[in-house]
Amino acid sequence: MLNKKVSDLLNEQINKELYSAYLYLDMNNYFDKRGLAGFANWYMIQAMEERDHAMLIYKYMQNNDCPIVLNAIAKPDKKFKKDMDVLKAGLEHEEYVTASIHTIYDAASKVKDFRTMQFLDWFVKEQGEEETNARDMISKMELFGSDPRSLYMLNQELAARTYSAPSLVLD
């Protein structure tokens, strides 16, 4: 069984990952209503990733005989007026999730929970990629978003994104 503090933080992270999925579904809905199906696709895939992140943590806790508490998932409270608001909120949220993962990693390190640290290594790397992707989207929108033809091309690029579930063995 895991250290109680580490277990509690992992439980909280499940909820944060599921909230992230809700937030990205809300962002998907914003872009869908704007008629930007590529951007909507990007955020739908983000939602699927976050759901799967929650499930990876959930399964890890089950495999380590930890109690799992499923709390209510908060309703996303962000209001978006412009496309850039969505992108900036996405980056801000990824930075929040990164800090949360780091907090769990630090707690596991303090109690020498090497198994959890190894498990979290994948999440640390994933969060680095997520923040880079969010920054890149902001940069591209700043460069191309004001030109309708360029926005169309960026939308097409984002429409090509596909999803494959993470391949982590959780034994």
CA 156 to chain centre: 22
Question: Under a CB-based contact definition with an 8 Å cutoff, are residues 27 and 71 in contact?
Answer: no
pLDDT tens profile 48-60: 999 999 999 999 9
Residue 94, Cβ density class (10 Å: 0-12 exposed, 13-18 middle, ≥19 buried): buried
Task: Please indicate, yes or no, whether the overall pTM of this predicted structure exceeds 0.75.
Answer: yes
The larger pLDDT score, comparing residue 165 to residue 62, is at 62
Tokens of 102: 């780091």
Domains and CATH numbers, the chain: 4-159 (1.20.1260.10)
- pLDDT tens column, 13-60: 999 999 999 999 999 999 999 999 999 999 999 999 999 999 999 999
∠ at Cα 69 (64, 116), nearest 5°?
30
**Helices 83-110 and 4-34: crossing angle, nearest 10°?**
170
